[in-house]
Structure formats: structure tokens, C-alpha cells
Amino acid sequence: MQLLRILAFPFSLIYALAVYFRNLLYDTGILTSAKMSTPTICVGNLSVGGTGKTPMIEWLLNHLSGGSKLAVLSRGYKRKSKGYVLAHPTSTAEEIGDEPLQIYSKFPEVDVAVEADRIKGIEQLETSRHPDIILLDDAYQHRKVQPSFSILLTSYDQRYTKDWYLPTGNLRDSKSASKRADLIVVTKCPPDLNDEGQFKITQELNPEMNQKVLFCTLEYDNNLKGDKVGLSILDLKNIEVTLVTGIANSKPLIKFLESEEIRFDHREFNDHHYFSGKEIDFFNSRPFVLTTEKDYMRLKDKVDNLYYISVRHRFLGEGKEVIKKSLENLSN
């Protein structure tokens, strides 16, 4: 795989050039961005997957000021439906995508919709649901919409400053596009990252004067959810565990399980993988299947003895207060 990425370097130069000219057209006003009447918060990244966008959307839903009617708009990546779809109690991952289904399952009071055309999706929500704030999931590179507030995520161990364009690297947008963000959040940091380490990374990211850089770490829930209640991570030490992941980056979860001295047989798949009947049969032959919350959305009601471990962002230092203060004007 690494050799293929090296051989693909000429194509990455073509991709980089296309990205540069596309952004230039927007920056010079030849192509225009629509500013919607409803306040919008964009959460996204410059790379493909693995920065924790869905947990950040969930964090925002938990911490935006009460009283606001909230909505989430996503593309619904790899869903099997077309056009605008509003999540409902019987929605499936095939209909709206695994990540939107995860969000709706946790926040049934929030309007969660999918639409590849973000302008059409926002207009549909404004017309039919009348939200006070719309959260745009994975929309940083969609410049047809000018968001009210932008949060750019970058992973601690795969920062965009050290990356290169697809297909040689993982960048799908230019590094200079980071200047459009209101907040830059470095995700998946070591929980003990000190002030000196944060300062060095901030210097590396070289933010604009109006930008703030925040840091957060992943926290896994010690209590498992699934077929039965009352199971915890500690209970897995004496169980034959099959770990199933179909996410962009399973390394943090693996590191966490190993730190808890959990032994497991890891079955790893591509991000958003739809499991075949043969794979489902194999999982059903295993005594205990552990997966991520996103994968659970595609596996529930198909696999017995299935459990998932949820994860959330925890901001380091005063990051929580900074981001809440930054969003006060939107929710008032």
C-alpha cells in the first residue's frame, strides 16, 4: 500500500492543483458561497476520515445552550438512499448512513437529515423543521455554503501540517484552507499532553490572529452497551472477545483495550463497510462480539452477543469553556 501511494505521487500533484484552483475561484468571488438565514456550525477536516467528527457533533449537541431547536445535516456517506431524507424512529444505516443514525439514536429530539447538496438540505430543514441552529457534519470542503462558524479537526498523530494530498497522502483540501476555520481542534491527544506540548503544536499549526487552537482527548466508556446490561470493560478479561471494526482509524480503540489488558481477535474492515452474509454468519459463531458505536449501527439486529463501546471527546485545559463561549452568540 505504501509503495502504491509513492507511485501515485504524480496524481497527487494533479489533485493538489485542482484543489488550489477550486479554492482560488471561491476566494476571488468567481464562485460564490451562500450564507443561509439559519445559523450554521460546520464541523470538518482537511483529510479523509479519522478525526472524530461524529463525537464532536455529539459534544456540541450536549453543550449548546438549552432552549435552541437543533438540527444536524450530513451527507450520509455510503447510504443506499438518494436525495433528502429526514431520520425517523425506524431509520436504518442503509437509509441514512451509520453516523447520522448514531447521532439520531442518541438525540431523538434533534432533527437529523441527510442530503449531498448542502444548500438543498438546509433549505428543506428551514422549510419543514424551522431549527434555530444547524450543525453541518463533514462540510468543511463544501464551499457552496458559507457557515456561521467553522470548527476544523485534525488528529494529533496525523496533523494536516505533516500530510500530503490524495492519493499519496490523506489531504482532500489544501493546508491553507485551515485559515477559514474559527476554531482548530487537535483531537485524539494523549491525555497528559502538557502546556509545552500544546504550545509546540500551536506554533506548528501557525493559526491566524483570530483563530483559537484547542486540544482534546478520547475517553472510552467503561460500560458496554448491547444485548445485555451491566457489562463493563473489566468483565472482558475472562471472555473470548472478537473485535470488529469498520472505521477509519481503529488504533486508539486498540490501544485502549490493550491498556485494559483485554485480549481479542481483531477483524478489521474498511470505513463504513457493509458486512456480507458470510461475515455476519461468522460473527454469530463467536461467543462475544465487541464493536464501535458506528459499526453497531450496521450490525444491530443481525449479530447475537453484540456489544459496543462508546467514545467521547474531553477537552484539555480550558478548552471546554473556550468553545462554549465561542458559540454563545449563535445559541442566543
Would you give the distance in Å from CA 19 to the centre of its chain? 22
pLDDT at 192 over 70: yes
Query: Which CATH number fits the domain that encloses residue 277?
Result: 3.40.50
Q: Please report the beta strands in 30-99, taking only residues with DSSP state E, as ranges in sequence order.
A: 40-45, 70-74, 85-86
Are 320 and 295 in the same domain?
A: no
Are 21 and 169 in the same domain?
A: yes
What tens digit of pLDDT does each residue of 295-327 get? 999 999 999 999 999 999 999 999 999 998 888
Domain span including residue 21: 2-68+132-218+314-331
Q: Say if pTM beats, i.e. exceeds, 0.85.
A: yes
Are 199 and 243 in the same domain?
A: no
Number of domains in the chain: 2
Question: 326: number of CA atoms within 13 Å, CB side?
Answer: 21
pLDDT at 226 over 80: yes
pLDDT at 97 (0 to 100): 96
Torsion of CA 100, 105, 108, 110, to 10 degrees: -30
Lowest-pLDDT range, 47-51, 82-86, 241-245? Answer: 47-51
Question: Residues 6 or more apart from 69 whose CB is under 8 A from it?
Answer: 111, 129, 130, 131, 132, 133
pLDDT at 64 (0 to 100): 87
Answer whether residue 92 is part of any domain: no
pLDDT at 43 over 60: yes
Handedness of CA 155, 271, 300, 54 (dihedral sign): positive
Answer whether residue 178 is part of any domain: yes
Residue type, position 242, single letter: T
Answer whether residue 152 is part of any domain: yes
Q: Using an 8 Å Cβ cutoff, are 242 and 269 in contact? A: no
Per-residue confidence at 150, pLDDT binned at 50, 70, 90? very high
Question: Residues 6 or more apart from 156 whose CB is under 8 A from it?
Answer: 186, 187, 188, 189, 190, 193, 201, 215
